[in-house]
Structure 1
């Protein structure tokens, strides 16, 4: 079983958010989480603080909620650092309409880009041209039309946009953490 098998899914986290009285989409915070893990090595305590702030609560309502939120961070980090490059943005799945899934991708992208904007231009200067282009393209995804019909063409387009967001996230992480994941090298990872 890979580490991402245990990652809380969109519905689990959306339900957890509702228990805390929040209608916010987990996708937005997942986009932020991904960028923060890449740019700032976001620690568990800082992540819990950020989620609670996003939910408008002082702390998770119980130990189980806190453990789920911490597992979300840990397993996202594991997926980003895994040599299988199997990170997936946390988006609504096939149980949701295409319009809801498009909104989820838009929210993920907005969260991701917000962290990058907050980091300023300094980190950007060391990025490859491919990463700069991928991040610039995300701005277009943030502006996508989300009121779309369920159709095979729209589904294919949404899949392609989601894949672009996924690749941009992994590219950002791998460029900020050379040698993690061990994509081309067979050297052991130092901890």
Structure 2
């Protein structure tokens, strides 16, 4: 099975980061990737350059690493544009503590918001649906969530709900910026 065909998860990308001497989590860059794909359709080459810059390297160490990083982008594009609405932020899974998962969600939100600040102006935001604007207004709170939480069922449920909010916000942004991709019903279309 090629890397193109297999679903990559947080650990797969984190391993590539480690191979390049980086202890940073890929969650911040995943938030950036999602927002860039929704707002600017970032090319594969541009994405690879951004990841390498973040890792402090000129280029991926080997072809397998380059393929993994490009596969990460392809996987995200495919999930955002799929009619199944199956996009999932690249976050630490249940193998990690709730605190690590919360930290990942916070970093994802920071990356996503950073791109919004760089790219979105008032005119563009005025074109968004009320539902999307309300969802976006909640993202700064995600970027400030307390990652110092214990492993309790209540915290797990809360974190799951916050992650679902981030996921749906990302998908709403993508679908509003790419009408017809995926084919979904617009329940709150912008008023012109």
Give the TM-score normalised by structure 2: 0.92
Structure 2: gaps of 5 or more residues:
187-192
8 Å CA contact retained: 1:82, 1:181: yes
1:111 aligns with 2:84: no
RMSD: 1.4
Equivalents in 1 of 2:46, 2:72: separation in Å? 13
1:92-171 correspondence runs (5 A) = 92-121=92-121, 122-171=123-172
- Kindly state the Cα deviation for residue 175 of structure 1 after the two structures are TM-superposed: 0.2
1:116-147 C-alpha deviation (Å, 9 max, x unpaired): 01113242121111111111101111111100
Equivalents in 2 of 1:55, 1:27: separation in Å? 13
- Kindly state the Cα deviation for residue 85 of structure 1 after the two structures are TM-superposed: 0.2
- Kindly state the Cα deviation for residue 5 of structure 1 after the two structures are TM-superposed: 7.2
1:32 aligns with 2:32: yes
Equivalents in 1 of 2:40, 2:97: separation in Å? 34
Q: Which moved more, 1:37-46 or 1:5-14?
A: 5-14
1:56-88 C-alpha deviation (Å, 9 max, x unpaired): 110000001000000100110000000000000
1:45-84 correspondence runs (5 A) = 45-84=45-84
1:18-65 C-alpha deviation (Å, 9 max, x unpaired): 110111111111000000000000110000000001111100000010
Equivalents in 2 of 1:68, 1:16: separation in Å? 8
Give the TM-score normalised by structure 1: 0.92
Equivalents in 2 of 1:137, 1:38: separation in Å? 18
Equivalents in 1 of 2:102, 2:112: separation in Å? 15
8 Å CA contact retained: 1:52, 1:59: yes
Moved over 4 A (4+): none
